[in-house]
Amino acid sequence: MNITIIGSGYVGLVTGACLAELGNTVFCLDVDARKIDTLNAGEVPIYEPGLKDIIERNSAAGRLIFSTDVKASVAHGDVQFIAVGTPPDEDGSADLKHVLAAARNIGKHMDRFKVIVNKSTVPVGTAQRVRQAVTEELAQRDLPRLEFAVVSNPEFLKEGSAVEDFMHPDRIVIGVEDDATGARAQGLMRAVYAPFTRNHERTFYMDVISAELTKYAANAMLATRISFMNELANLADKVGADIELVRQGIGSDPRIGYSFLYAGTGYGGSCFPKDVQALSRVASRFGHKLNVLDAVDAVNDSQKRVLADKVVDRFGDDLSGRTFALWGLAFKPNTDDMREAPSRVLIRELLTRGARVRAHDPVAIKEAQRVLARDFTNAPRLLEHITYVERAMDALSDADALLIVTEWKAFRSPDFAAIRARLKQPLIFDGRNLYEPALMREAGIDYRAIGRSSRIPPPPEPVAGARQTSWQHSGW
């Protein structure tokens, strides 16, 4: 099948490469000529395990084409996937200008039936706006009767395992209209995804609006679980509980499960922060307030400062003369994505308090340098206090403490004796709870994680005027 992917960013590249891997001929369009030149030169502008090999293999076979030619891209594919960015607007809602521009380009050049697929994460009602944009362009060309269909097909890819997620999906959501063109579109979409459903039906067909809402609802639920656990972790630090034991205790309930119940320094990336805010904006347009999601967003913003707060509690507000080793810059492992990364908040807190930072990340150093230069536009001299190192242990030299921000596998089993030898003092602030507190005590390391306090808190003060029960008198 001939397929066009509009947008060669994260979602577009993974979608296009994987569909080509299945034998389709895929035309990947992007208006950024430098990105297309990079891809045609055999380089991949993002880091995603396995993606570069698939792109090289299918480009060589002629099944994967990269171009800036809009007219050729529309002519190529019977199915046109729109996979452009939808960054947050000033009010937090999704900015659809790139989506609608892609739709208008299709309307300007199409000459036969097309299935236009919204693969980008878009708010409820976007399909109607895409339909309107295409219809207006066809009317200007005096082709009002040329048929097309608009489909919602949200992606559910996790950065760091996106290729695996695409090739082995747990579900495929397709929203189509209940009319003749919708039925025709459903047939084409069934053909696109047939390789994934031969042994097990994974496709959920629904109306377009429900499909659009499904994507936001999924990300909002996962973000809610993360913020909920972070709230409990902060409480665990206060009362002396171990959040990892709590996680095991509640996760064993099949109604709850273990996924996305890990405490840490908050979520980041291109999806959760943007989508939580965008869903709240959608609700507000309909006069409805999503109180839970507003709280999820607020908790996450606060959680990104937790590690810095722990540092300040230990060393004081003024960090002048202090140096901190930082392991991990990307918002999660197996990616170089720095969007909304907690490390950016932590670095700003440390530098503005006078500290120096020695940072290491297995793949994200180059992207971090680019993003942090933008973050510190108004204070560029602070960037002189960051040193980037290629090896994790080199970050520790003469540092007052080690701060762990990203849970790369390479950080899971370090040489703790070497860590102690290199640091000024054996002190680790772990924002991802990689190590066991008991083992850290045995290694002679002062270990400060998220919700893994080992202290026994004093009993709560009795409420004035409250009547004590018999078990309180007896000391139970």
Q: Say if residue 184 is in the same domain as residue 251.
A: no
Please report whether residue 253 resides in a domain.
Answer: yes
Where a domain ends, among 206, 241, 260? 206
> Of 133, 130, 126, 127, which is closest to residue 93 (Cα–Cα)?
126
Q: Say if residue 130 is in the same domain as residue 257.
A: no
Q: Is the pTM of this model over 0.85?
A: yes
Q: Say if residue 278 is in the same domain as residue 199.
A: no
What is the span of the domain harbouring residue 241? 226-448
- pLDDT digit string (tens) for the chain, length 476 residues: 999 999 999 999 999 999 999 999 999 999 999 999 999 999 999 999 999 999 999 999 999 999 999 999 999 999 999 999 888 776 667 789 999 999 999 999 999 999 999 999 898 899 999 999 999 999 999 999 999 999 999 999 999 999 999 999 999 999 999 999 999 999 999 999 999 988 888 999 999 999 999 999 999 999 999 999 999 999 999 999 999 999 999 999 999 999 999 999 999 998 899 999 999 999 999 999 999 999 999 999 999 999 999 999 999 999 999 999 999 999 999 999 999 999 999 999 999 999 999 999 999 999 999 999 999 999 999 999 999 999 999 999 999 999 999 999 999 999 999 999 999 999 999 999 999 999 999 999 999 999 997 555 556 666 555 444 333 333 33
Q: CA–CA separation, 279 vs 219, rounded Å?
A: 10
Q: Say if residue 106 is in the same domain as residue 169.
A: yes
**Which class for 60: exposed (0-12), middle (13-18), buried (19 or more C-beta within 10 A)?**
exposed
Q: Say if residue 313 is in the same domain as residue 415.
A: yes
Please report whether residue 429 resides in a domain.
Answer: yes
Q: Token pair of 191, please? A: 């053909």
> Of 287, 129, 283, 306, which is closest to residue 217 (Cα–Cα)?
283
Q: Say if residue 36 is in the same domain as residue 161.
A: yes
Q: Say if residue 199 is in the same domain as residue 263.
A: no
Please name the amino acid found at residue 33: A
Q: Say if residue 386 is in the same domain as residue 301.
A: yes
Q: What is the number of domains present in the chain?
A: 2
Please report whether residue 201 resides in a domain.
Answer: yes
18 is catalytic: no
Catalytic residue among 11, 271, 346, 427: 271
CATH number of the domain residue 303 falls in: 3.40.50.720
Please report whether residue 290 resides in a domain.
Answer: yes
> Residue 428 in contact with residue 445, Cβ under 8 Å?
yes
Q: Say if residue 398 is in the same domain as residue 251.
A: yes
Please report whether residue 257 resides in a domain.
Answer: yes
Please report whether residue 26 resides in a domain.
Answer: yes
Q: Say if residue 48 is in the same domain as residue 105.
A: yes
Q: Say if residue 408 is in the same domain as residue 440.
A: yes
Where a domain ends, among 175, 206, 237? 206
Please report whether residue 473 resides in a domain.
Answer: no
Phi, psi of 72 (to 5 degrees): -65, -35
Q: Say if residue 191 is in the same domain as residue 250.
A: no
Q: Give, as one character, the DSSP assignment of residue 457.
A: P
Please report whether residue 469 resides in a domain.
Answer: no
Where a domain ends, among 174, 206, 238? 206
